[in-house]
Amino acid sequence: MASEAAAAASLEPDIRLAQAISMLLADLSDEQRRSFRTQQDNFLPPTITDVMRVVAKVDIVAGGKQKGGGRTFGPRLTGFLEAVQEFASIGEVELGGSMSLLATSVWLIVCLTLTILAEYPRWLEKASMTLMSAGRNAPRRMEITLFYARSKKLQSFLHEYFGVVVHTCHYIVKSLRSSVFAKAISFPMDSKLKGYESDLERWAAKIREEMMILQFQPAPLQTGGFANIFDSGKSKSQPNSLAHNVEVVERYSTYDYLTPWLKIRKSGSTDLF
């Protein structure tokens, strides 16, 4: 067992991510695996609408399992699910073909796990807290798109981060396969899930640190016959232009749809209509 762990540790992070996905798929039921493959074959890059659709489905299923409808979990899940959605929607140009396929699988796995969790509101109550914490610091699309191709270290950190996401989902799915286990476990004291939460925070911190370094570095210089043409027009402030662009995009390209939606969801739901 120790030798297997050592061998896995020696692999590249993207290979370990692929292995984690394969291991999770192997533990799904035949029906779940067929559904996963079908969704993979017909995959379209997810949008924020897909995020809202998933959390709405989770709330509907979980509400049906709780007396009086219970609480809604959407506000807790949205930030984390949106980060996974953004990663899966970046596409082959920025990520490359093989990594884009892995990102697609991560999105489908997270959606499947949340759907399964919705059947167990007590588990969902605790797991949603873990995912809410992870969502606060999760890497975002804009930074990944700008910097992914420039840094092997950033690529490695992102692969590690989403590898932990898959391992977390795998642990939850395996645990919930046994109804006796799911009903008897003392979930609040579950150290395994706490360990995954710590790992997500650690890799998210490394990603933020690397992005901060890249943000204030000049973009790689162009070489070849056209290099001099572009160099002649550069100002001395060029190294800071990327940081300025990031600031401008953050300021003007986002609409705060989330705040009013969270207020609406926190106000509760009704069955009167």
Place of tokens 């919705």: 118
pLDDT reported for residue 258? 58
Nearest to 107 by CA among 91, 87, 127: 87
Mean pLDDT for the stretch of residues 189-210: 88
Residue 232's pLDDT band (cuts 50, 70, 90): very low
Q: What is the Cα 88 distance to its own chain's centre?
A: 8
Q: Write the pLDDT tens digit of every residue in 210-226.
A: 988 888 877 665 555 44
User: What is the model's pLDDT at position 144?
Assistant: 76
Non-local CB neighbours of 59 within 8 Å, separated by 6+ positions = 72, 73, 74, 118, 265, 269
Spatial distance between the Cα atoms of 206 and 176, rounded to a whole number of angstroms: 31
pLDDT at residue 212, rounded to an integer: 86
Confidence of residue 177 (pLDDT cuts 50, 70, 90): confident
pLDDT tens for 165-174 read 999 999 999 8
In the chain, the amino acid numbered 108 is: L
- Check if the beta carbon of residue 70 is closer than 8 Å to that of residue 121: yes
Residue 231 reports pLDDT greater than 50? no
Which tokens is 262 given? 């969270």
- Residue 182 reports pLDDT greater than 80: no
Classify 236 as helix, strand or coil: coil
User: Looking up tokens 């979980």, which residue turns up?
Assistant: 62
More confident residue, 87 or 272: 87
In the prediction, which pLDDT does 166 show? Answer: 96
> Each residue of 5-49: pLDDT tens digit?
445 566 899 999 999 999 999 999 999 999 999 999 998 889 899
- Write down the pTM of the prediction: 0.76
- Find all residues with CB under 8 Å of 19, minimum gap 6, and list them: 8, 11
Taking each helix axis from N to C end, the angle separating 241-252 and 191-215, rounded to the nearest 10 degrees, works out to: 120
State yes or no: pLDDT of 192 exceeds 90. Answer: no
SS3 call for 9:
helix
Position 249 confidence tier, pLDDT thresholds 50, 70, 90: low
Give yes or no for residue 228 having a pLDDT over 60: no
Q: What is the mean pLDDT of the chain?
A: 77
pLDDT value of position 131:
87
Let me know how many helices (H) and strands (E) the chain has, helices first: 15, 0
Q: What is d(CA 199, CA 266) in angstroms, rounded to the nearest whole number? A: 29
pLDDT tens sequence across 104-149: 999 999 999 999 988 888 888 888 888 888 888 888 767 677 788 7
- Return the residue matching tokens 């959605």: 85
Q: Using an 8 Å Cβ cutoff, are 168 and 198 in contact? A: no
C-alpha to C-alpha distances, 142 to 52, 148, 237, nearest whole angstrom: 20, 10, 22
Lowest mean pLDDT among 93-102, 192-201, 205-214: 93-102
Gap between the Cα atoms of 21 and 109, Å rounded: 8
CA 36 – CA 209 distance, rounded (Å): 34
Most confident option among 7-21, 70-84, 192-206: 192-206
46-55, 147-156, 167-176, 178-187, range with the lowest pLDDT: 178-187
